[in-house]
Structure 1
């Protein structure tokens, strides 16, 4: 009996030693799967450029900005990721959308002073399609639910429908995207990201070099500031990822911003890994130590969460003249 207990104890110790290695191997596989999906999205963007000679807009007809409304006066709240569907073997889904009408209506935070909402996403079918869960937009390391955050009058596509979240999004300049319609054309070259609302940037404008500039980023399906990002539409604060909101805020894998302090809430807020609180534009993942980015040339880089803010800004902007080479 004593010998049997010793053998069982030894087996238990070996299992305890082996378990972390198994978990690391599983995460390595998940991380590779996530990287491959982002690589495919990078290729989809370049195939889009080959067809249209420019990048897709980060959004079309966003109605959440503060001033006179979208460029052509039509509020559609479309996420530019929809335009990539034909290039990720989702042509059939793309064809089902009513692209002439709204993809979502954010009635709680419809702030544009001008323009008009085109159609109704509930009756035109777009709201229902927005709930389609697409593996191409999901990272297996993120155990947050795909649905449940993109709901209601602020974050939902309309009515009682729930949008499906995405872990991958365009890199944008978050403050203009949310507060100032049509500001991209007037912004200085030093502050521009590769994508903007109602703007089709050309690759030639990425003068810092495609291999040195973020094109798409990774985020979590749970945002404490806002709900999450839906792949099909733009609701309130769904603007895209901005790793460098400003000199104070931003970063990678930030679960609690310092200014958003715990005394705002009762009981006090407890940061939870996997629930990003980097305002509404989080670059984050559940991969240990950082998250993935697709560079302008289509390559995928894993960026450590310890990266300093100036370097992160230089990688985020496309024409500030401060080139960072990733090795």
Structure 2
């Protein structure tokens, strides 16, 4: 006796496949959003560590580290005539459980040499290729990498302008000090003579103190987020300074600046051939580098070490007031 088995028809199979496709289509955005939320949380945690590290540094030395030491990209005389191209982020390593990495650096000599990008007058102290600093610059440290950023950590920081030394590839950072980018690049030791109403919390070869942040630590940016790809410029390295690598500046001027702006009015699209096409996730320029791949904005560490997510639609006057530390314009976070 034969038992007749009922099987699925082709139409039924197609209906089931279509239903599964619809469910996957509905679930995929939710899964992606959940993953980005986790990445964004990790990114914020990284920045929180840096904020606490800065406060621990101040507890030890009663002042903040300089954003850089002996920068060679500026015009003028290097402080003490010594070119070192050191990033102040290295000073935070002992406070983020990376004392072993800190101890390997030769802090008395240069961290990078950018032979094609040296404008400052001074003597390069030592050779980063032989003193070990260039090799350390290649380390990919998780605390300086935002997991939301799909740009590679290494690959752009090479060559005579952006690399730590010939034959070495620097590792990029997603986080850096808040500075006035253009003056830092334009004139050596400019921070020392900058008006208090336009000063950021950090500058090259100058150690600010908490008492100088008269607008209030809770109302002033201390560390900003950026992408690991700058279209004009390369990126920011965590251990050294190269060509146009001064720090993060959220407010360049009333026209150019802002958050997550992938193209700027000042940079005409026909200056490049083929014409420039803005791409989300690639900050347009070193002087407008406050950006992230988080939807809608990016993170900042405030002077009190709290981490705030600032919307990309923030108005320019408020952004300026949050960027400078002593203009007397105390604002409430949006």
Query: What TM-score range do you get, normalising by the shorter chain?
Result: over 0.9
Q: 1:19 aligns with which of 20, 23, 28?
A: 28
Post-superposition CA distance 1:246-300 (Å, at most 9, x none): 1111110111112211111111111111111034440000000100000000000
Distance 1:247 1:15 in 2: 45
Distance 2:53 2:296 in 1: 27
Structure 1 spans left out of the alignment, 5+ residues: none
Distance 2:191 2:147 in 1: 34
Post-superposition CA distance 1:131-183 (Å, at most 9, x none): 00000000000010111111000000011100000000000011211011112
Structure ranking higher in strand proportion: 2
Greater C-alpha radius of gyration: 2
* Greater CA drift, 259-268 or 212-221: 259-268
The answer for the alignment partner of 1:81 in structure 2 is 89
1:3 offset after TM fit, Å?
2.2
Post-superposition CA distance 1:192-214 (Å, at most 9, x none): 00001000000010000000000
Distance 1:103 1:223 in 2: 21
What TM-score, normalized by structure 2, do the two folds share? 0.96
Does residue 37 (structure 1) correspond to residue 46 (structure 2)? The answer is yes
1:67 offset after TM fit, Å?
1.2
Relative to structure 1, the CA distance from residue 283 to residue 205 in structure 2 (aligned partners, 3 Å threshold; closer, same or farther) is same
The answer for the alignment partner of 1:258 in structure 2 is 265
- Does the aligned pair in 1 maintain the 2:233–2:285 contact within 8 Å? no
Distance 1:120 1:12 in 2: 59
- Does the aligned pair in 2 maintain the 1:240–1:281 contact within 8 Å? no
The answer for the alignment partner of 1:93 in structure 2 is 101
Moved beyond 3 Å, runs of 4+: 278-281
- Does the aligned pair in 2 maintain the 1:60–1:197 contact within 8 Å? yes
Distance 2:287 2:139 in 1: 23
Distance 1:231 1:34 in 2: 15
- Does the aligned pair in 2 maintain the 1:79–1:232 contact within 8 Å? yes
The answer for the alignment partner of 2:5 in structure 1 is none
Q: 2:227 aligns with which of 220, 223, 243?
A: 220
Aligned residues: 325
Distance 1:258 1:10 in 2: 47
SS of 2:227's equivalent? Answer: coil
Does residue 59 (structure 1) correspond to residue 59 (structure 2)? The answer is no
Post-superposition CA distance 1:92-134 (Å, at most 9, x none): 1100010000000111110013x21101100111111100000
1:4 offset after TM fit, Å?
2.4
Distance 1:225 1:12 in 2: 42
What TM-score, normalized by structure 1, do the two folds share? 0.98
- Does the aligned pair in 2 maintain the 1:249–1:278 contact within 8 Å? no
Structure 2 spans left out of the alignment, 5+ residues: 1-8
- Does the aligned pair in 1 maintain the 2:258–2:288 contact within 8 Å? no
The answer for the alignment partner of 1:269 in structure 2 is 276
The answer for the alignment partner of 1:8 in structure 2 is 17
Post-superposition CA distance 1:213-265 (Å, at most 9, x none): 00000000000110100000000000000000111111101111122111111
- Does the aligned pair in 2 maintain the 1:254–1:278 contact within 8 Å? no
SS of 2:299's equivalent? Answer: strand
Does residue 249 (structure 1) correspond to residue 256 (structure 2)? The answer is yes
Distance 2:162 2:305 in 1: 30
